[in-house]
Amino acid sequence: MQANMQGEAVAASRQHWNARWFWYSLICVLCWGGWALLSRLGSREIPPETMQFLFTVGTLPVCLALLIGRRGKLEKSPRGITYGILNGILSGVGGLALFAAYHTNGNTSLITVATALYPMITVVLAISILRERFRAIQALGLAFAVVAIIIFSL
């Protein structure tokens, strides 16, 4: 039985290595790790409002590259466009709050870890709004995340 469980774990691990979402997620983690460090360094020098403005300016080259890659074609889904704009608003307000937290000269590691708990909100929303399933092992993972932040803050 234990050998079977180990075999399933190895198979699941191989699936992750071969999944496109895994590599996109890895790129995201690497970029956001650098983003958090640069956010802290910049927040030492300039106010949060300026950091948020410059963050937005910094996304413009990415926007232009995407627009060029799509040959200027924009999406036509009003619902998708609305979600995208709301996402930008929430990201902007959240980024401003993070820059403000860094500007207080609080512990960078603690601020970063505390704000990185946002997936807990996402999980609750995905279960309640999107009706996604949540397994016991995933709940255990969230519990470990809560324990980790408590330990980290000591």
Mean pLDDT, residues 19-31 taken together:
90
Mean pLDDT, residues 57-62 taken together:
95
What is the reported pTM? 0.75
From residue 111, how far is each of 13, 83, 147 by CA, in Å? Answer: 31, 27, 16
| Residue bearing the bigger pLDDT, 38 or 123 | 38
| pLDDT at position 1 over 60 | no
**What does the chain come to in residues?**
154
Q: What is the pLDDT of residue 16?
A: 67
pLDDT by residue (tens digit) across 89-124? 999 999 999 999 999 988 888 888 888 888 888 888
pLDDT by residue (tens digit) across 119-150? 888 888 988 999 988 888 888 888 888 888 77
How far out from the chain centre does Cα 91 lie?
10
Tell me how far apart the alpha carbons of residues 148 and 146 are, in angstroms, rounded to a whole number. Answer: 5
